[in-house]
Amino acid sequence: MYFDSFQALMWMDGHGPYVWGAYSVALIILLSLVIQPLRAKKRFIKQQKNELRRLERSPKGNSSNI
């Protein structure tokens, strides 16, 4: 291994804060790219269920809701 200790790995001769900061930002962006569509899908399914319930409660002869 290139580094002698964990502290040397984290510090990287003074470049550590920049390197680990860049890794952190990239990880946050990648996680948001995974989580955001999952949340949107969940929200869409909830909206569709609510719309279906609303249409089932409406009078059968009233087709203006569609």
pLDDT at 2 (0 to 100): 83
Reading phi first (left if > 0) and then psi (alpha if -120 to 50, else beta), residue 12 is in: left
- pLDDT for 13-53, tens place per residue? 999 999 999 999 999 999 999 999 999 999 999 999 999 99
CA atoms within 13 A on the CB side of 53: 6
26 or 63, higher pLDDT? 26
Quick check: 60 pLDDT over 80? no
pLDDT at 62 (0 to 100): 57
